[in-house]
Structure 1
């Protein structure tokens, strides 16, 4: 983490206001936040500058913490957690969460105080829509930010808080094998629709036990395979490969069904009505 300087410290070191302005104009350092300056600024430098303006017990959390732990995307809005009742200055672009539940054992990532990964994941799971929450949990596990037992231990602490019922349910469904957001959402749609939980990333093997194809989701014993196709076009070589794959799976008893973003987001009932008859015939 680059060295940060408060404006008052620069003046105390002998620089005049005009000299500070000149160094900013020349790119010698950057204004990271009100009254805080640094060199070679990136997103983490800006977060460090914001933390300097907040109370001592402030930690980064929610989506900001998830990003630092490796299972979220950077956002313009910064989310911080402070103890309940702490007075916090209003800063543009900063959302303050006054935590009734204290953050246990904060960690430091690149020098920044942050809520543990499990806390960030559970806080998000309580707040997000159900279909948006499970992908967060899956990615948290996939990224290795925490372990399933850590999620279970964390959600047990949130009793009585808003959204905890949803969090309890989804933590038990979280699976690191899902490789994208849509696969997680498709899996949840099937479970919520009354179907058994499908297995993510199912390897299909030939008669010699050699793995040939991997399916997004599947029911191995029933030979039902489900794929999410997010591609907007198919190159000729990819099309040939896919056709050979489809033919082999069909010849070996697999009943494959393919869905797109249109199915997942605009007509989810179509997915369920397409799959449920396969279970009746199993």
Structure 2
């Protein structure tokens, strides 16, 4: 059953303060946040609906919060990001970041929640974050299927002259929907920025019969060089065993594998480019 939400002013037209407290004590009503009540314990979506009830008309989810709803939430989302029209008052609420824009926008509804449209969301987010995080956003937006490259280019053109749009225009041609995680996109960007040939994402390696056997994060097929991000999942004993079998097969087939971690990505990207430059000869 859908959760029913009320603002305090709506409830007080039907209840006295004493009756409201009684219903809260009996758990017939639940306080979701200041000024908003529900008829049952709320899930995450209902908590967002309650927040939107507290905000002025025209409020919608934006940036990381909208990206998650659209299916390309690859960046951390500790706060709720909200878009408001420029002419309305800007509230201050804990855990909420309010954004305004000079560009008009109409919301789309995803799961019943108003959101900034997908292309607008991807471009605004890629404008606002550092370059190393912007490409993962664009990659994930393409992978999600909710936007096309042409739609991203058109949206970027609408942002002409705004802060960060040059970065977005540079990165859209590099975006690739085959990328499967943020770190993979970041690895690829580090190599491209290091003046190395763009590696192929999610490269399938075939056996002698031409059957796809192993898929690499990144690679150069003609040179038989594979590139992989080593995350926490590789520390699992069962996964480690499968990885060793995979590595041995690839080595026997003439593939030279190179592995990188968070330390390489965020502390010594020069090591990544030097390693692959050497491997390419």
TM-score, normalised via structure 1 length? 0.90
Q: 1:78 matched to which residue of 2?
A: 80
The aligned residue for residue 37 of structure 2 is 37
Q: Distance in 2 between matches of 1:219 and 1:175?
A: 16
Rounded to whole Å, the distance in 2 between the matches of 1:108 and 1:64 is 13
Q: CA RMSD in A?
A: 2.0
Gap change, CA 1:3 and 1:239, over 3 Å in 2: closer
**Which residues of 2 match residues 100-249 of structure 1 at below 5 A?**
100-103=102-105, 105-231=106-232, 233=235, 235=237, 238-249=239-250
* Pairing 1:99–2:101 present: yes
Distance 1:267 1:83 in 2: 42
CA distance in 1, matches of 2:91, 2:213: 58
Distance in 1 (alpha carbons) for counterparts of 2:255 and 2:22: 70
Give the CA deviation at 1:238: 4.3
- In 2 relative to 1, CA 76–206 (structure 1 residues): closer, same or farther, beyond 3 Å? closer
Partner-residue secondary structure (3-state), 1:221: coil
Matches of 1:91 and 1:216 in 2, distance apart? 41
Mean CA deviation greater in 45-54 or 221-230? 45-54
Q: Is the Cα–Cα contact under 8 Å of residues 187 and 198 in structure 1 kept in the other structure?
A: yes
**What are structure 1's unaligned runs of at least 5 residues?**
none
Give the whole-Å Cα distance in 2 for the aligned partners of 1:99 and 1:58.
Answer: 12
Deviations 1:214-270 (A, max 9, x none): 1110111222111111146352x5444433332332333322212222222222111
Once the two structures are superposed, residues 118-166 of structure 1 have per-residue CA deviations (whole angstroms, 9 ceiling, x without a partner) of: 1111111111111122222222222333233222221121111111111
Does 1:55 find its partner at 2:56? yes
Using the size of structure 2 for normalisation, the TM-score is 0.90
- Report the Cα distance in structure 2 between the residues aligned to 1:198 and 1:137, rounded to whole angstroms: 17
